[in-house]
Amino acid sequence: MATTRRPLIAGNWKMNLDHLQSIAFVQKLAWALKDKKFHEQEVEVTVFPPFTDLRSVQTLINADNLPVGLGAQDLSPHDEGAHTGDIPGVFLKALDCSYVVVGHSERRADHHEDDSHVAAKVVAALRHGLIPIVCVGETSEDLERYGASKIPVDQLAAVLAEIPQGSEFVVAYEPVWAIGSGQAATPDQAEDVCKALRETIREHHGDEAADSTRVLYGGSVKSTNIAGFMKRDNIDGALVGGASLDVDEFVAIARFPHHVSLD
């Protein structure tokens, strides 16, 4: 991990915790971070609750000035109008969301989101001042057929072609076979693909973007394997699913600098 990029530990709650549970969870999280002397200057921690929780979590974070950021799990490519069930970026911005996850493999699979749809959502996020976390990753069939990098690189290139130079975004490499399987990629595997993704940014948006953009790894990240990822040059944080629903485990992940030597 390059020291100039502030690490991001992002908790994607997926379809878990209703708005009441979200309040109890974030209160516990804030206490645990304080108790463990977590430094927000060192590591950025952000949670991604379901849409129905966002207002409750926003209120809590703002009222107590908690060291926890807020993001949404998806957004509409449109800004308003006849799109039943969709949520536009402008509503997320009004709830103080800083980030939005775009193109998660579960949305690509469940809602048939293709690269051009994902790119349109990234453009919509940027239009509203949200930082998109662009998710890319190969399935086990892709891995066998094309190797690890080709599909994630193609997915990222499709987005980079549609957004202006200088846009701020985050990339999350999440191999589909590693999500929820308990079988994380090895740090070497993850580093290889994250490096290829950074070079793709360099090719499309230049050196400054390549050197400043954070590239995360996601897929069965736990407190016991985070250090291995964070030691690598091109991995700047993690997108955490299951382990982000356990306060102690999530805090232990966020405190990785205390159990990893970064030199």
Q: Which of 60, 148, 221, 253 binds ligand 13P (CB under 6 A)?
A: 221
Nearest to 98 by CA among 8, 160, 229, 14: 8
- Could you tell me the smallest distance in angstroms from the CB atom of residue 244 to ligand 13P? 7
Catalytic hit among 106, 113, 138, 174? 174
Decide: helix, strand or coil at residue 262: coil
Is position 242 an interface residue for ligand 13P (rule: CB under 6 A)? yes
The alpha carbon of residue 239 and the mean position of all alpha carbons in its chain are separated, in whole angstroms, by 5
Binding to ligand 13P by CB under 6 A, coded x per residue (else -) over 166-185, reads: --------x----xx-----
Helix 187-212 vs helix 150-160: crossing angle, to nearest 10: 20
Q: Is 104 a catalytic residue?
A: yes
Q: Does 12 bind ligand 13P (CB under 6 A)?
A: yes
According to CB under 6 A, which one of 71, 77, 218, 228 is a site residue for ligand 13P?
218
Are the C-beta atoms of residues 97 and 88 closer than 8 Å to each other?
no
DSSP label at residue 161? T
Q: Of 22, 76, 167, 220, which one interacts with ligand 13P (CB under 6 A)?
A: 220
Spatial separation of the C-alpha atoms in residues 256 and 258, rounded to whole Å: 5
Distance, CA of 225 to CA of 260 (rounded, Å): 11
Question: Interface with ligand 13P includes 225 (CB under 6 A)?
Answer: no
Residues noted as catalytic = 104, 174
Q: Which residues bind ligand 13P (CB under 6 A)?
A: 12, 104, 174, 179-180, 218-221, 239-243
